[in-house]
Structures are given as structure tokens and as C-alpha cells.
Structure 1
Amino acid sequence: MTILTYRASDIIRLLEREYPIEKFLSVPECKTGSPWIQRRCPRFDLWVMARSWVYPRFIGCEIKVSRSDFLRDNKWQDYLPYCTEFYFVAPPDIIDPAEVPEAAGLMVASEEGKKLTTEKEAPVRDVEIPRSILIYILMARTLLTVHTYGHATLVGNGIDNPCKEG
């Protein structure tokens, strides 16, 4: 059996399958606001919002493709104010579920790279999501159609635009 070498982009694809566009809005490389206004502006590898008014979920994902990257991570706590659930996501044998902090969960990619397994559920926290991340997504990560009469129409997010053909 061949063991895969994972890149962050491979895991992003698995996460996007885990959180399909019909039910979730996924924003890769999502900043938490403006670096010009905020002193510290953490950036999620993937930030996911459930398309639900009744059961709002905001899921932060930090991808770790090497053990050393996980061991030296000292910024994950900065993500917590921006998500109701926070997950480390890694290839097999990078992170032991027992060493995942209490405030985080763990998803692991399968050895063949076809699916993710939740090894440790993230606790769900009641968090009022800061406006800064929502404004960032609207201003920097959304496609607009600008009409000749000066108005703009929101088309969708710039990553997975369901209105785009192809």
C-alpha cells in the first residue's frame, strides 16, 4: 500500500466534501478581519458557516501536515472567538487525539486520502461571532456583479460560486 504525502490543499478538498456547499459556506485562507485595523489578524486554513438560521455553526479548521507544525502551534487559541467549533485537521499519525487541547477537536484524513474521520469531537461553544470576520468575507471574498447604473449584486463567494458555469 502506498502512503500519501498530504498537502494542505488535499485536506481542504476533503473538508469541502465534508461540508458541502448546499449546506455550508466554506472560506479557505479566511482572515478574521482587516490587518490594517486589527493588531492581530489570525487566518483560518478553512472557516465554515452552516447555512442555517435555526442551528448556526461556525467551524474553524487548522490544517497540520507535519507533527512539528502541530507541536509548535501557539496561535490556535486566537481562533476561538471566531468559531463555535474548532478542529485540527491532519493526515494519519500526525496528532494523537489524547494530545488535542480540551477546547479543540480532531479530524484525520484516511490513509488513502478519500475521507475524513472525526477522532475527537470539538466542544460546541456559545460564541457571538465578531463582525470583523463577517465583514472580511463580504468585502474581500465575495464576487459582485456591478451594473452600469452603479448598483452591485451579490453573486456568491469567490471560491465556490454556484452561479458560475463550468
Structure 2
Amino acid sequence: MSELPPIVDLRQSQTALKVQRGVMRLLRQTYDMCCFAEVPLANGRRADVLGVGPKGEIWIVEIKSSLVDFQVDRKWPNYKDFCDRFFFAKPPELDPDIFPAEEGLIVADGHDGAVLRHAPETPLAPARRKALMLKLVRLGADRIHTLMDPGPK
């Protein structure tokens, strides 16, 4: 078995971790989504937050904690092939006008979040959805197992 990715990437800034918590609370409480943090994708990228809705819909949220964070990161289009909806998430103090108008946008802090702009729906191909769902089931089970038994793998 390969090394599990972290549940929380502690290399992230405190701002990014707060935004992550607020995004996950928003998706869970408002949209009834189950959320995963730090999800490795088949293209080698890692989604900050991936939510799965009650009908199997998949949203990916890319967290940007500062203007510089957004300016230097041009990998975000690579996430769109792995979700039905793609959002950026930002802290309250970051200007929303820096984000592309055609993408979804969430504002969040350590307590909750709100959708400022809904993302357009671009449904996943059935084969990719199935592969991603299998990956998520295994990832979730492995993370729970690691929490229950952090001993040797």
C-alpha cells in the first residue's frame, strides 16, 4: 500500500487552514456534502477540498489565501476534469475581483462560509466518476483506519 496523503497539510498557512474548515462546514451544513481534504487526483494534483453530494455530485474547491498565492498558482484548471463544479475559496479580506468571473467563488473563515458565485455545472464522464468514487471510498476508509490504528502499515 502506498503512503497515505495527509488529512490536513500542515504546510498550509493558518489562513488557508481556517478557510478549509469554513468551506467544509459550508458544504456539509448547506449542501449535505461529505468532504475530503487533500485528495490526490489521477493527474498528480491534489485537491484542497473535494465534496461529494447526496446524488453523487462532486465539487472541488481550490483555496487561495492571498493575492500572491493566486498569482503564482496556475495549476487550478487541471482540477476541472475531476469535478462537476469547481470553486475557488478565499478568506474575507482577499479581494474577490482577482478570481476569474466564470469560476465559482466561496468566502470562508474558521467558522463558516458562503457561496459568492455558483460554479457552472460540467458533468463528469461516468467512467471518471466511478474511478474517482472508488478512490474516495478507499481513501476515506484508509484515513479512518489510520486514525483507529496508527501502528505499522
Using a 3 Å threshold, how does the CA distance of structure 1 residues 62 and 114 change in structure 2: closer, same or farther?
Answer: same
Match of 1:125 among 104, 122, 126: 122
Using a 3 Å threshold, how does the CA distance of structure 1 residues 82 and 74 change in structure 2: closer, same or farther?
Answer: same
Per-residue CA deviation, residues 24-62 of structure 1 (Å, 9 max, x unaligned), is: 2211001113xxxxxx3111000001022xxx4211011
Question: In the alignment, is the contact (CA less than 8 A) between 2:23 and 2:106 conserved in 1?
Answer: no
Amino acid at match of 1:10: K
Count of paired positions = 133
- Segments of 5+ residues of structure 2 without an aligned counterpart are 1-12, 147-153
**Higher share of residues assigned helix:** 2
* TM-score with structure 2 setting the length: 0.71
Amino acid at match of 2:38: E
| Residue correspondence of structure 1 range 80-119 to structure 2 within 5 A | 80-96=80-96, 98-109=97-108, 113-119=110-116
* TM-score with structure 1 setting the length: 0.66
Question: In the alignment, is the contact (CA less than 8 A) between 1:32 and 1:132 conserved in 2?
Answer: no
Q: What is aligned with 1:148?
A: none
Q: Which has the higher contact order (CA 8 A, sep 6+)?
A: 2
Amino acid at match of 1:82: F
Q: What is aligned with 1:26?
A: 35
Distance across 2 between alignment mates of 1:58 and 1:93: 27
- Residue 131 of structure 1: CA displacement? 4.3
**Higher share of residues assigned strand:** 1
